[in-house]
Amino acid sequence: MSSATGCSNQTQIAKLTVEGKEFELPVVVGTENERAIDITQLRKNAGYITLDDGYMNTGSTTSAITYLDGEEGTLRYRGYAIEDIAEHCDFVETSYLLIYGKLPTANELNDFRESIRRHTMIHEDMRSFYNGFPRDAHPMAILSSVVGALSTFYQDSLDPHDARQVQISIHRLLAKLPTIAAYSYKKSIGQPFNYPKNDLSYCENFLRLMFAVPTEEYDPDPDFVNALNLLLIVHADHEQNCSTSTVRMVGSSNANLFASISAGICALWGPLHGGANEACVNMLKQIADDGCNVQKYVDMAKDKKSNFRLMGFGHRVYKSYDPRATIIKKACDKLLGRLHLTDPLFDVAKKLEEVALKDPYFVERKLYPNVDFYSGVIYRAMGLPVQMFTVLFAIGRLPGWIAHWVEMHQSAATKIGRPRQVYTGANLRPLIPMKDRT
């Protein structure tokens, strides 16, 4: 496995003057010339910490996995452009690339696929967990619970410092996540769970687990398989986002891989992060039902009193078009065309984008469609229910989470994640006896 490399020797120094004293801070330069002021010794030397709500300016680590340039709209996995990967690789190959740091040879890829195929079933006792969940439970809640529970069934592969155990856990997770996810859907509609079929590809298997019924033959539609493959690839990693940072944070305490990924799934669920794909389709539906009055919703998003945001718009890092949204929008057009489908929500989305991108509010704030804006339209065309959209995101993001967890454990610089704070509460005061409290 490759480890985080590529920081040049620090030839530059930043100077900080506090209370008349000057402190020298090394400058770290990444392989794409990104610069960071290294403050690891700041508190020790100067007695100060830095404050950065939402980590807008804080690099939590160096990393050799994914490069993105938010101004240029660039995204690369391990140095390869997302556009090239989306065109030439499949999701399992992309997972190998992210986790092991290199494109696999034909033999390496075959072995990897074979191993994943052989781990797709979940323990029969685990299947019975699903009986305990309410039928209307959100599948993300089920997903995080069942993934967390993998550490109860696979106690032989929990040691984060044992390379072989980590390997087994990685393969188990990649293989079982689609099965766990599909069962949450089957549970919600009261259908029997299918067993995986190991002669199928990763995406074919997932579609079969989702849609096959015991009474009929099921052949996954190749257009759906291709679209799903593409969507999983473009979601596969996005450097230090909220869920990935969560996986790294939890993993930094030496919690096992299953526990760390379960925490990442919870972080992804929120509507400001991966949950935006579900929220976005619900918003598009609301606009369509409201007579497609796009301007009304653009105005609402601009109104600071309304609390309404255009879901699927804006990004912490991208200040130009999200390259993933470009790929997905093209795939949407292609899939709907091939299926001879028109989806009114796709029309609303395109109209919304057109109106918003001409509006000074969105232009000035550099708010563009993000990865979640068009993905839901494809999922709908494939017959996936809206509650499963964020689950699909989780399946796609899994190799990225794993790659970061592994990189963190391989880095000599890793310490337990433990930010500091600036305390703003009451100073020491005498405890008030109960009888005197008002």
* Catalytically active residues, by annotation: 315, 372
Task: Report, in Å, the least distance between residue 283 CB and ligand ACO.
Answer: 10
Nearer to ligand ACO, 196 or 275 (CB): 275
Give the x/- contact pattern for ligand ACO in 32-61, rule: CB under 6 A: ----------------------x-------
**Using alpha carbons only, what angle is made at residue 96 by residues 91 and 99, rounded to the nearest 5 degrees?**
120
Residue 204 phi, psi dihedral angles, 5° rounding: -60, -45
CA distance 86 to 77: 11
CA distance 294 to 337: 24
Q: Does 372 participate in binding ligand ACO (rule CB under 6 A)?
A: yes
- Tell me how many residues contact ligand ACO (CB under 6 A): 20
Taking CB under 6 A as the binding criterion, the range among 199-207, 283-291, 303-311, 410-418 that sits at the site for ligand ACO is 303-311
Q: Which of 78, 315, 380, 409 binds ligand ACO (CB under 6 A)?
A: 315
Long-range contacts of 27-30 (CB under 8 A, 24+ apart): 28/62, 30/6, 30/62
74-77/66-69 β-pairing = antiparallel
Nearer to ligand ACO, 220 or 275 (CB): 275
Taking CB under 6 A as the binding criterion, the range among 1-9, 154-162, 199-207, 366-374 that sits at the site for ligand ACO is 366-374
Taking CB under 6 A as the binding criterion, the range among 79-87, 217-225, 253-261, 308-316 that sits at the site for ligand ACO is 308-316
* In the block, residue with structure tokens 């337990």: 416
CB of 58 closer than 8 Å to CB of 52: yes
Task: Report, in Å, the least distance between residue 414 CB and ligand ACO.
Answer: 25
Q: Does 313 participate in binding ligand ACO (rule CB under 6 A)?
A: yes
Give the x/- contact pattern for ligand ACO in 182-221, rule: CB under 6 A: ----------------------------------------
End-to-end CA distance of the chain: 62
Q: Does 301 participate in binding ligand ACO (rule CB under 6 A)?
A: yes
Q: Which of 314, 323, 396, 400 binds ligand ACO (CB under 6 A)?
A: 314
Nearer to ligand ACO, 54 or 433 (CB): 54
Rg (CA), the chain: 24
Nearer to ligand ACO, 139 or 314 (CB): 314
Nearer to ligand ACO, 367 or 392 (CB): 367
Nearer to ligand ACO, 212 or 394 (CB): 394
Q: Which of 309, 319, 334, 338 binds ligand ACO (CB under 6 A)?
A: 309
Give the x/- contact pattern for ligand ACO in 257-286, rule: CB under 6 A: ---------------xxx-x----------
**Which residues in the 95-134 window bind ligand ACO by CB under 6 A?**
none
Nearer to ligand ACO, 157 or 390 (CB): 390
Nearer to ligand ACO, 28 or 266 (CB): 266
Q: Which of 63, 95, 370, 390 binds ligand ACO (CB under 6 A)?
A: 370
CA distance 135 to 344: 30
Taking CB under 6 A as the binding criterion, the range among 62-70, 207-215, 306-314, 419-427 that sits at the site for ligand ACO is 306-314
Q: Does 365 participate in binding ligand ACO (rule CB under 6 A)?
A: yes
243's tokens: 């869920």
CB of 66 closer than 8 Å to CB of 238: yes
What is the CB neighbour count within 10 angstroms for residue 216? 7
297's tokens: 């919703």
Q: Does 310 participate in binding ligand ACO (rule CB under 6 A)?
A: yes
Nearer to ligand ACO, 150 or 367 (CB): 367
Q: Which of 116, 142, 265, 367 binds ligand ACO (CB under 6 A)?
A: 367
13-18/21-29 β-pairing = antiparallel
Task: Report, in Å, the least distance between residue 235 CB and ligand ACO.
Answer: 8
Q: Is 84 exposed, middle or buried (0-12, 13-18, 19+ CB in 10 A)?
A: exposed
Residue nearest to ligand ACO (CB): 314
Q: Does 82 participate in binding ligand ACO (rule CB under 6 A)?
A: no
Residues that bind ligand ACO (CB under 6 A): 54, 241, 272-274, 276, 301, 309-316, 365, 367, 370-372
